[in-house]
Structure 1
Amino acid sequence: MELRHLRYFIAVAEEGSFSLAAGRRLHTAQPSLSRQIRDLEEEVGARLMNRGAHGIELTPAGKAFLDHARTALFEAEAAKQAALRAAQPARPAFALGFLSGTEIGLLPEVTRILRADFPGIDIRLSSDYSPALAKALLRGRLDAAFMRVEEQMGDLASKRVRTDALVFVLPANHRLASHATIAPQEIANEPFLFPSSTAPAVRRAVVEYLGRAGVELKPKHEVHNVVHAISMIASTRAVMLLPAYVKHFLPEQVTTRPARGEVPTLDLIIAWQKANNSPILKLLLSRTGKLAGAAA
């Protein structure tokens, strides 16, 4: 088993499609990608994903394999970076994680703040799901991370950066797209998408919002990330609730509408280990007000 097999598998799992993974992420031919996944499944000895008309879905074996594959790639990259750092003169370093998508609004201001006081700083960036960021913080692989509030925070401290409202995301020519706002009851008979276990905070907020409205929905599919969600919404004409910042990623055929009633929200926090006394971290925490403005 080679690292490229793991990269290929993760790309397909996150994109939810062989064609998207081959074109957007890996820049390879789809038949070659399919062959690499088959080779991986033969070596593992189990089917890792099922191919369907609307993309791929991970099997139980695939879901278990995905976490370990990400860890293996993370460790390989960490080994490479450690070797590079050992070969270079020491300089201030700060490992910073972002919930995927949030770096678009935050990273320019974060970089400006850190480089103003630490001109030679080595900012090591990573983008991942919120639970993965929490694990990386607890294991000491990150100094700080912009993420959601997770159920298992352990020895992590946190500070709120901003609050994101959830909005309905749907095809631009959907019948509900003509509404100024959408009530939960109006989607009761619509195909609905749920975030997977990789986004537990979003999933909880969606379930609680629908529960308060007395709406019970059986999800048509689960999606793993924003790109997968957009693809599924466009191809299945389904509806989904996602944080409002996804507006920045949407193509013309997909749009958003505010939720009606008690609008569900999620806090974006910056989290760190309580024992971390880094002056770089203290500087970043002292400027969260500016970060909230930049993100908005």
Structure 2
Amino acid sequence: MELRHLRYFEALGRTLNFTRAAEQLHIAQPPLSRQIRQLEEELGAELIDREARPLALTKAGTFFLEQCTQLLARVKEVQEATRRISQGQRRWLGIGFVPSALYGFLPELIRSYGEQSKGVEIVLSEMTSVQQATALKSGRIDIGFGRLPLEDPEIICETIAEEALVAALPLKHPLLKSPRLTLAALAKEPFILYPVRPRPSYADQVLQQFRIHGLTLSSIIDANEMQTAIGLVAAGVGVTLVPSSVQRLRRDDIVYRPLSDSSIMSPIIMNRRAGNDSPDLIRFCELVKIHAKGTPPTPRPRRRRSA
């Protein structure tokens, strides 16, 4: 198996169309089809359901596409890191983060560190908490911000902040009559759970909160990421729970409500590789604690003015 096989399959898996994939790869369609066949023979698994209309991935194909995407991203990072070293740019800091971390102090932290550390190139990578574990151990990132504690002796996990969870509901939802909502009320509604994979994830934290309170969700709609979940809420498909800092994502078609139980929280966890004591990383960690302590309170939802 060669890198070109991964690139070919990634293009096909993304487009689900041999013609478009071939055009993006700047090759003819017949060679692309042959290369995919060769790849399937080497793996001993069918990756494409050629009978489906439109074209579809098999379960093995879906798994392999995820792995291809990660491997190709890693190859690109290695190429860029090698280029930086060859040009004398040896100092860089890799930061992994879950999307919800961007609504808190992380953007200001990165700006502040960049201003104070002009000689350090900051490389940002969006990834789940589970993906951060692999990235830390491989050296792909130096530090990560997630929602889950990583049970790994090679990784140091530190909870730097706790965020209350709030409910996100569509406009005119009946539950909006209450200023605060209970988990019991939310459990009766179609509930949008994210991310659906990889697991464990923030989704498992949410499910655990319902279990602790002796509740079972009546209906679950899976979403791949938070932005998708928010969009589904806006469309009236269901409700969801988000960290309170997400209220900074101002949308006119979403209303947030605090929970009656203010102890329901989601942690922000800083992850780093044990034994990595580089001066740049230590300086960044010190700055993290300053910014985490200075995180402003979650903004209250804006009141709508009557027409």
TM-score interval, normalised by the smaller of the two chains? 0.7 to 0.9
For 1:250 and 1:60, locate their aligned partners in 2 and report how far apart those are by CA, in whole Å: 37
Is it true that 1:203 corresponds to 2:203 in the alignment? yes
The verdict on how the C-alpha distance between 1:240 and 1:226 changes in structure 2, with shifts beyond 3 A counting, is same
Q: Which has the larger radius of gyration?
A: 2
Letter in 2 for 1:280: D
For 1:129 and 1:265, locate their aligned partners in 2 and report how far apart those are by CA, in whole Å: 19
Is it true that 1:46 corresponds to 2:48 in the alignment? yes
The verdict on how the C-alpha distance between 1:82 and 1:281 changes in structure 2, with shifts beyond 3 A counting, is closer
| Partner deviation per Cα, 1:113-168 (whole Å, 9 max, x = no partner) | 3542x321111111222211222012221111112233433311122221122111
Is it true that 1:266 corresponds to 2:266 in the alignment? yes
Greater relative contact order (CA < 8 Å, ≥ 6 in sequence)? 1
Is it true that 1:225 corresponds to 2:225 in the alignment? yes
Give runs of aligned pairs for residues 243-282 of structure 1, distance below 5 A.
Answer: 243-261=243-261, 263-282=263-282
What secondary structure does 2:189 align onto?
Answer: coil
Contact 2:189 2:218 in 1 (8 A): no
Q: Which residue of 1 aligns with 2:74?
A: 75
Give runs of aligned pairs for residues 37-116 of structure 1, distance below 5 A.
Answer: 43=36, 45-47=47-49, 60-61=59-60, 63-104=62-103, 105-113=105-113, 115-116=115-116
Letter in 2 for 1:181: R
| Partner deviation per Cα, 1:59-82 (whole Å, 9 max, x = no partner) | 744652343033123223213313
For 1:285 and 1:239, locate their aligned partners in 2 and report how far apart those are by CA, in whole Å: 36
For 1:78 and 1:262, locate their aligned partners in 2 and report how far apart those are by CA, in whole Å: 42
What secondary structure does 2:252 align onto?
Answer: coil
Name structure 2 gaps, 5 residues minimum.
23-32, 37-45, 297-307
* Cα RMSD (Å): 3.2
Q: Which residue of 2 aligns with 1:15?
A: none
Q: Normalised by the size of structure 2, how large is the TM-score? A: 0.74
Q: Which residue of 2 aligns with 1:22?
A: none
Q: 1:191: Cα distance to partner? A: 1.0
For 1:269 and 1:182, locate their aligned partners in 2 and report how far apart those are by CA, in whole Å: 26
For 2:241 and 2:199, locate their aligned partners in 1 and report how far apart those are by CA, in whole Å: 12
For 2:97 and 2:204, locate their aligned partners in 1 and report how far apart those are by CA, in whole Å: 20
For 2:111 and 2:17, locate their aligned partners in 1 and report how far apart those are by CA, in whole Å: 41
| Partner deviation per Cα, 1:89-131 (whole Å, 9 max, x = no partner) | 2342211122224235313323323542x32111111122221
Contact 1:166 1:264 in 2 (8 A): yes
The verdict on how the C-alpha distance between 1:231 and 1:103 changes in structure 2, with shifts beyond 3 A counting, is closer
For 2:84 and 2:61, locate their aligned partners in 1 and report how far apart those are by CA, in whole Å: 34
Is it true that 1:6 corresponds to 2:5 in the alignment? no
Q: 1:207: Cα distance to partner? A: 1.7
Name structure 1 gaps, 5 residues minimum.
11-32, 52-56
Q: 1:9: Cα distance to partner? A: 5.1
Q: Which residue of 1 aligns with 2:129?
A: 130
For 2:78 and 2:65, locate their aligned partners in 1 and report how far apart those are by CA, in whole Å: 20
Q: Normalised by the size of structure 1, how large is the TM-score? A: 0.77
Q: Which residue of 1 aligns with 2:147?
A: 148
Identity value in percent: 22
For 1:291 and 1:144, locate their aligned partners in 2 and report how far apart those are by CA, in whole Å: 16
* More displaced 10-residue stretch of structure 1: 124-133 or 191-200: 191-200
What secondary structure does 1:141 align onto?
Answer: coil
What secondary structure does 1:166 align onto?
Answer: strand
Contact 2:84 2:90 in 1 (8 A): no
Is it true that 1:35 corresponds to 2:35 in the alignment? no
What secondary structure does 2:217 align onto?
Answer: coil
Q: 1:267: Cα distance to partner? A: 1.3
For 1:98 and 1:187, locate their aligned partners in 2 and report how far apart those are by CA, in whole Å: 28
Q: 1:291: Cα distance to partner? A: 1.8
Contact 1:148 1:268 in 2 (8 A): yes
The verdict on how the C-alpha distance between 1:62 and 1:184 changes in structure 2, with shifts beyond 3 A counting, is farther
For 1:94 and 1:150, locate their aligned partners in 2 and report how far apart those are by CA, in whole Å: 22
Contact 1:183 1:260 in 2 (8 A): yes
For 1:193 and 1:273, locate their aligned partners in 2 and report how far apart those are by CA, in whole Å: 33
Q: Which residue of 2 aligns with 1:28?
A: none
What secondary structure does 1:170 align onto?
Answer: strand
Contact 1:194 1:240 in 2 (8 A): yes
Give runs of aligned pairs for residues 153-232 of structure 1, distance below 5 A.
Answer: 153-195=152-194, 196-198=196-198, 200-232=200-232
Contact 1:170 1:239 in 2 (8 A): yes
